[in-house]
Amino acid sequence: MPTLEGLEEAGLDKIPDLSIAQMRFELTLDAQSAKELKVDQAEVKRQLLDKIKAGFMTQLYREVSAELKLPLNNSVLEEMEAKNKEEIEKLTEAIANAEKNDGESEVREAMVKKCEYLTSIGSREEALKMLKETLDKTNTTGHKLDLHFHLIRLGFFFNDNKIITLNLEKAKELIELGGDWDRRNRLKVYTGLYAMSVRNFKEAADNFLDTVSTFTSYELMDYHTFIKYTIISAMLALDRKELTKKVVEGADINEVSTSCPSSNPTSSPSTTHSTQSSS
């Protein structure tokens, strides 16, 4: 089992920040649901806007302001736009310099950095375009898989099942060509999370249970949340005998549930699920 402290660096970078998607979902709850789930929507709104402003997320600022029926602060918007323009120009220049002076590996790395920045500021279409261009210039299976994982996270962030399913399929094809152990396990977690979001709890449980002792996908969620989702999906999908063997008597799951009771949904009334299926 992964140790519960100090291992988040084993995950990929948290790009995009999926906690923002969680906050946006929580703000769609009606008052009664928010009360039952112990969601302080006023505090969530404050935290969400703080994250958006701190990250200079121009497009997201527009979208969230419209969703929450808030007036746009033009000075904040102009500051964001100026910062985005400055950073994008630097990243574009870095790609041009790499193409002129360096090799394919350096060019790809510069392109990935631009992909990450566009994703981090919530520029969906620009990020998708840049990721496609980067994939076209990427040759190794491992690096291609990392880009498809990036695209899947982008799909989770924008609640876009089409992006998620397309890139899950691409990743599965690449894994069959020779994906390494870490990426195979990561794909199971991504597959499980999507399955859970569309209420395919059996597939979610199977994939999560396979990775309880090898989990490193901290870019999606922390380990306690992963264990919570594993227990929820297993309770909804497995028969009593299988549930007892894999969950109730599961040493890794029990260790986390005991050390952090909030990981056990049976003892926590505030279980939420951030990824909702698209209409």
Q: What is the reported pLDDT for 249? A: 82
Q: What is the reported pLDDT for 262? A: 53
Q: What is the reported pLDDT for 178? A: 80
Q: What is the reported pLDDT for 5? A: 46
Sign of CA dihedral 42, 47, 48, 54: positive
How far is residue 207's CA from residue 234's CA, in Å, rounded to a whole number? 10
DSSP state of 262: G
Nearest in space to 91 (alpha carbons), one of 137, 46, 127: 127
Q: What is the reported pLDDT for 260? A: 53
169-208 pLDDT tens trace: 999 999 998 878 999 999 999 999 999 999 999 999 999 9
Nearest in space to 229 (alpha carbons), one of 272, 183, 186: 272
Q: How far is CA 159 from CA 20, 46, 70, 142, 198, in A?
A: 12, 22, 22, 25, 11
Q: What is the reported pLDDT for 253? A: 82
Q: Which residues, given as ranges, of the chain have pLDDT below 70?
A: 1-11, 257-279
Q: Is it true that the peptide bond before 265 is cis, omega within 30 degrees of 0?
A: no
Contact call for residues 204 and 188 (beta carbons, < 8 A)? no
Nearest in space to 230 (alpha carbons), one of 184, 182, 265, 278: 265
How far is residue 150's CA from residue 136's CA, in Å, rounded to a whole number? 15
pTM greater than the 0.85 cutoff: yes
210-252 pLDDT tens trace: 999 999 999 999 999 999 999 999 999 999 999 998 998 877 7
Task: For the chain, state the CA radius of gyration.
Answer: 20
Count CA atoms closer than 13 A to 240's CA, side-chain side: 0
Biggest alpha carbon–alpha carbon distance for the chain = 62
Contact call for residues 171 and 209 (beta carbons, < 8 A)? no
Give the three-class secondary structure for 199: coil
Count CA atoms closer than 13 A to 44's CA, side-chain side: 19
